[in-house]
Amino acid sequence: MKFDTPAGANPIDTMTVVGRPHTRIDGPLKVTGLAPYAYEHHKEVESPAYGYVVGSAIAKGRITNLDTSAAKAAPGVIAVVTAEDAGKLGKGNFNTVKLLGGPEVDHYHQAIAIVVAETFEQARAAAGLLKVDYARAKGRFDLTEGLKTAKLAGGGDSGNEAKEDRVGDFEKAFGEAPVKIDVEYTTPDHSHAMMEPFASMAVWEGDSVKVWTSNQMIAWGHGDLAKTLGMPKEKVRLMSPYVGGGFGGKLFLRTDAVMAALGARAAKRPVKVALARPMMANNATHRPATHQRIRIGATKDGTITAIAHESGSGDQPGGSPEIAAAQTKLLYAGSNRLIAMRLAELDLPEGNAMRAPGEAPGMMALEAAMDEMAEKLGMDPVAFRIKNDTQVDPAKPDRKFSQRQLVRCLETGAEKFGWSKRQAKPGSVRDGKWLVGMGVASAFRNHMNMTSGARVRLGSDGIVTVETDMTDIGTGSYTIIAQTAGEMLGVPAEQVVVKLGDSSFPVSAGSGGQFGAANATAGVYAACVKLREAVAQRLGYNSADVTFKEGKVTSGNRSASLKDAGRGGELVGEDKIEFAGLDKAYQISTFGAHFVEVGVDSYTGVVRVRRMLAVCAAGRIINPVSARSQVIGAMTMGVGSTLMEELAVDKRFGMFVNHDLASYEVPVHADIPHQDVIFLDEADDKANPMKAKGIGELGLCGVGGAVANAIYNATGVRVRDYPITLEKHLEKLPEVA
């Protein structure tokens, strides 16, 4: 199905199933432990052996000798695989560095071997018997130093062009602006820290391999595993029916899947692998640290005339920058603009996508800078943002937004949160020992259209089955896909069986970039249109005027049950949604506003978040229950990145020191207050037939800025170096009376 004109009225608009609150279909399986994760497919795989991955003890250099003899002789050991044993391996399209190191080492904890044994304990013990000699080389581990000579890497329209992105004459306009700021912010490296570790189980059947793995994007992982192993794709099957969180870390093929496949081939039996928690931060990807400079010039009435956002980050050679300045292209008006990103080559572990890549750290800086500018102008921060709203792409004024309700988000949030009670003078509100402040930030995330397919079956029992390689990473994919098929075929969601996460199913958009829900359900919509046509044909109805409602198929004065159509044998509809043109003619984005109230202990500097509100405009909300869960989870992540999360870099040895959940701090329930979420009514007919857009990353974009602004309002201390930990403002807090 080609989507190249705005969606007109269609069956989804009925909203008898779609748009209604629906508890998670997979919920009972998860709370009872019946949902098998990658490490747990024991019904399909008998007596798997255990693999233990060994990581490099250096960050840069060469392995000069790797003695496996003691490990191979250890009790229970079945096989040991190194780069030398594995033979020639390829590198996937989505990996910056190879997933099995040796003899060259690219980063600390890069996998250099897998030990396979009868039990996990035997594999782990034998791994400690490997004797590895290294020749350490000088590495580049300091982002500040690296950015001194970093080259431009992105900023053009494609996001990858090595040039500055300019509109008008920024320098001239900034120089002439009567009111201006020039500020710098830093954000640290972040770990995904998902609940389920990177894990895989592999089994060979002749020259074919099946791998159950924890992965967000089956098609990407499927292709890259085949390429890495040097095998035809039809000889590789990748499956990931349940994923215990990913946040972008599982978008790509990782070492656990490769090592499980290599270990199983060497051992000649199934092998299961889970990366130990201390290895995850350094072996897998992470969100790179950023250094950002923001300059804003405005007239005295608050009209922005010049805005520049420059960001620098680091990655392995051949990697990409953290596109922290991307949202500044589109979020606020301003005739003269400069966007630039630079990439320093570092020998730290690979940097790559993490929830809201670009916008999450970028808006931690931009939205704090907007508050700083509002204060300098003597304007209310909400009013300043509203004044500089734009309904068109500032660089291409003839290109309108398909929907843009940022102003309404800000106004609705201000009213619901009680913004009018905020005291503009920082440090002027106290509640006992607590300094109390409010903060606001805009939320912004682009919508991305991606081809997505599905297959829908109608059985003789009237049950509808959907098959697609889409994944559910805790986001509710099973439920919204069932709702979509139910709406299209006139049955309740409970009458739909959803099968996900298998490379033998049609290729979907996958889970990532908040593009999964809207695109995957649009693909199911397209497949259901095909099935509706097949049903109408079997019943002898005109497919143009047929309706599906409450289990019945009606055309004119004729009606039959959906089950009747299936009695003649299974009917199948398969199709994909393909996009052409509308996302070029219109800017399709999602918007929101975050409001936060914090208390800062006037004695200790400890910050406690007291209230949070998110107002979101993100197209049609397919399931308000799971959408709210996505937003409050994202808001929680925003609190973490603002107040506590930081991968500490050992610049001597090139490693993240705090590589476990004991020392990499993330929010817990006690850190998070009640969170409110409001969804504005919206149906974006330029986005897809569902008229839906993404929500899961919008809930994170801007939270950091809102929390930082609330802390400043509470204390009068502006901290521009995230995370905002107490030692960064304690000495500057107002004196205790």
Do 98 and 9 sit in the same domain of this protein? no
Domain final residue, candidates 275, 310, 340: 275
99 and 222 assigned to the same domain = yes
Average pLDDT value for residue range 551-574: 95
pLDDT of the residue at 514: 96
DSSP 542-573: -GGG-EEETTEEEETTEEEEHHHHHTTS-EEE
Residue 242 lies in a domain: yes
Looking at this protein, which amino acid is placed at residue 496?
V
Q: Do 63 and 30 share a structural domain?
A: no
Residues 6+ apart with CB under 8 A from 628: 677, 679
Please state, as a whole number, how many other Cβ atoms lie within 10 Å of the Cβ of residue 64. Answer: 10
**Residues 120, 257 within the same domain:** yes
Domain boundary among 551, 580, 609: 580
Which CATH number characterizes residue 702's domain? 3.30.365.10
- Domain contains 329: no
Q: What tens digit of pLDDT does each residue of 634-691 get?
A: 999 999 999 999 999 999 999 999 999 999 999 999 999 999 999 999 999 999 999 9
Q: How confident is the model at residue 735 (pLDDT cuts 50, 70, 90)?
A: confident
Summarised one tens digit per residue, pLDDT across range 36-67 is 999 999 999 999 999 999 999 999 999 999 99
Residue 632 lies in a domain: yes
φ, ψ (nearest 5 deg) of residue 449: -90, 135
Is residue 553 domain-shared with residue 603, that is, in the same domain?
A: no
pLDDT of 518: 98
pLDDT of residue 163: 81
**Do 530 and 673 have their domain in common?**
no
Query: CA separation (Å) from 147 to 79, 319, 363, 394, 504?
Result: 44, 15, 20, 29, 45
Alpha carbon 683 to its chain centroid, in Å, reads: 23
Residue 532 lies in a domain: yes
Tell me the average pLDDT across 120-144.
98
> Is the domain of 103 the same as that of 208?
yes
Region 570-580 average pLDDT: 97
Alpha-carbon dihedral sign for residues 72, 78, 81, 84 = positive
- 323 falls within a domain: no
> Domain check: are 120 and 255 in the same one?
yes
Rounded to two decimals, what is the model's pTM? Answer: 0.97
Q: Same structural domain for residues 459 and 551?
A: yes
pLDDT surpasses 80 at 180: yes
Model pLDDT for residues 265-303, shown as the tens digit of each residue: 999 999 999 999 999 999 999 999 999 999 999 999 999
pLDDT at 156 over 50: no
Q: Which of 609, 628, 727 is nearest to 670 (CA)?
A: 609
Query: Which positions are catalytic?
Result: 697
**Cβ–Cβ < 8 Å for 259, 51:** yes
In 240-283, alpha helices (H): 255-267, 277-283
Between CA 107 and CA 316 the distance in angstroms is 9
Same domain, 121 and 236: yes
- Share the mean pLDDT of the chain: 97
Does residue 160 surpass a pLDDT of 70? Answer: no
pLDDT digits (tens, 9 = 90+) for 493-511: 999 999 999 999 999 999 9
Q: Is residue 355 part of a domain?
A: no
pLDDT tens, residue by residue, 70-111: 999 999 999 999 999 999 999 999 999 999 999 999 999 999
The answer to whether residue 300 is domain-embedded is no
Predicted pLDDT at 161: 61
Report pLDDT digits (tens) over 387-399.
999 999 999 999 9
Interval 355-372: pLDDT, tens: 999 999 999 999 999 999
Specify if 344 maps to a domain.
Answer: no
Asked if 256 and 122 sit in the same domain, the reply is: yes
The answer on 426 and 403 residing in a single domain is yes
> pLDDT band at 155, cuts 50/70/90?
very low
Tokens of 26: 């997979």
Q: Based on the structure, what is the number of domains in the chain?
A: 3
Query: Which among 275, 300, 319 is the end of a domain?
Result: 275
Three-state secondary structure along 29-85?
A: HHHCCCCCCHHHCCCCCCCCEEEEEEECCCCCEEEEEEECHHHHCCCCEEEEEEHHH
Query: How much is the pLDDT for 736?
Result: 82
Name the residue range of residue 15's domain. 2-35+449-580
pLDDT of residue 737: 62
Task: Give the whole-number percent of the chain exceeding pLDDT 90.
Answer: 98
Under 8 Å CB-to-CB from 374, ≥6 apart: which residues?
Answer: 302, 380, 381, 383, 384, 385
Q: Average pLDDT in the 231-255 region?
A: 98
